[in-house]
């Protein structure tokens, strides 16, 4: 299968249809349709179904997309590197980070670097933690950022920030009056939790198990910022990481320490067997010497 066919499948899934995919790839709609038909014939799979006036990806297409996504990211990275060389740019720093860190510790670091090196360029991609590591392996990023370390043998993780699990509550909620909250305090209160199986949920759950308190959640979401927005909307209280306090305005909410204290470190990831670029080294230095606190 040609790389162009993978690009087309990827574009149709990402942009939600043939029209937007054709615009993104700067080709005609009939050309997109022909390449989809060719790809389906070569693979022996039905990738899209027509629903109304748009094409919707099948389950096979969704699974294939998971494999295609890092390949396309790597391919685009190669294209960008070729342009860098051709146009004589001084350097491009490619960062991929989980949403919480992309909106908290990364902006100040990039601002500092760009202020000192106005000719440099940076790209910031925001992905789930598993996709951050995947993009490093695919050489689609120089540095990755996420919460908690990784035991992957091909990835080096170094702590660059220290936070903790906190409870976020409406100001008129019964828990808002407490100096700290423990697992037992959540009985009969509607809890917004981070997605089951996520690194932070795996950090929080043992604290509840240790005291025999069921981790009874009402709503789950993968992101701390989303959990705080649900608190603002009146869904309940949330257990999140403290980096969220640097992301969104929480002045109408109450932040309560969770006990026992659960430390949540931020980490920078890099591919073990790839030499770090000068810009990547400078980026880590710009994060300041020693961990950055997130209280």
Map 136-160 to HEC letters.
Answer: HHCCCCCEEEEECCCCCCCEEEEEE
**Together in a domain, 138 and 279:** yes
- The set of residues, in sequence order, having a beta carbon less than 8 Å from that of 273 and lying 6+ positions away, is 154
Per-residue pLDDT of the chain (295 residues; tens, 9 = 90+): 688 888 888 998 888 888 898 898 899 989 988 999 998 898 888 988 888 777 888 888 888 888 889 888 888 888 877 775 554 345 789 999 999 999 999 998 999 888 887 878 899 999 988 899 999 999 999 999 999 899 999 999 999 989 999 999 999 999 999 999 999 999 999 999 999 888 899 999 999 999 999 999 999 999 999 999 999 999 999 999 999 998 888 888 999 999 999 999 999 999 999 988 888 988 998 886 333 445 4
Q: Are residues 130 and 205 in the same domain?
A: no
Residue 65 within any structural domain of the chain: yes
Domain total in the chain: 3
144: CATH: 3.40.190.10
Kindly state whether residue 229 falls inside one of the protein's structural domains.
yes
H or E element at residue 73: helix 59-87
Q: Are both 123 and 195 inside the same structural domain?
A: no
Rg of the Cα trace of the chain? 22
What's residue 288's pLDDT? Answer: 60
Q: How confident is the model over 201-217, as pLDDT tens digits?
A: 999 999 999 999 999 99
pLDDT at 276: 87
What is the structure's pLDDT at 90? 59
pLDDT for res 219: 93
**Res 28: pLDDT:** 92
Alpha-carbon gap, residue 243 to 246, rounded angstroms: 6
3-state secondary structure of 226: helix
Identify whether residues 111 and 137 lie together within a single domain.
yes
The residue segments making up the domain with residue 63 are 3-74
Note the pLDDT of residue 192.
Answer: 97
Whether residues 252 and 133 fall in one domain: no
| pTM over 0.75, yes/no | no
Q: Which CATH number covers residue 69? A: 1.10.10.10
């Amino acid at each position: 299968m040609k790389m162009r066919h993978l690009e087309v499948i990827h574009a149709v899934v990402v942009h939600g249809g043939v029209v937007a995919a054709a615009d993104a790839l700067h080709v005609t709609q009939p050309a997109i349709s022909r390449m989809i038909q060719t790809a389906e014939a070569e693979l022996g799979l039905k990738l899209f179904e027509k629903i109304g006036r748009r094409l919707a990806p099948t389950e096979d297409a969704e699974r294939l997309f998971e494999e295609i996504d890092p390949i396309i990211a790597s391919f685009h990275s190669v294209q960008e590197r070729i342009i860098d060389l051709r146009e004589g740019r001084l350097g491009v720093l490619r960062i991929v980070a989980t949403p919480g860190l992309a909106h908290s510790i990364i902006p100040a670091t990039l601002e500092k670097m760009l202020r000192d090196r106005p000719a440099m360029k940076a790209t910031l991609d925001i992905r789930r933690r598993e996709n951050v590591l995947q993009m490093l392996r695919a050489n689609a990023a120089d540095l990755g950022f996420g919460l908690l370390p990784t035991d992957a043998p091909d990835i080096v993780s170094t702590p660059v920030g220290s936070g903790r699990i906190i409870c976020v509550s409406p100001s008129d909620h019964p828990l808002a009056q407490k100096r700290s909250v423990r697992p037992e305090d959540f009985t009969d209160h509607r809890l917004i939790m981070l997605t089951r199986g996520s690194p932070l949920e795996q950090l929080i759950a043992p604290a509840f198990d240790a005291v025999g308190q069921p981790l009874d959640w009402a709503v789950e979401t993968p992101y701390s910022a989303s959990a705080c927005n649900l608190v603002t909307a009146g869904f309940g209280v949330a257990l999140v990481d403290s980096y969220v306090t640097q992301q969104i305005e929480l002045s109408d909410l109450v932040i309560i320490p969770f006990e026992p204290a659960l430390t949540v470190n931020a980490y920078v990831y890099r591919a073990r067997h790839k030499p770090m670029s000068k810009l990547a080294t400078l980026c880590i230095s710009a994060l300041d010497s020693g961990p950055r606190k997130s209280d």
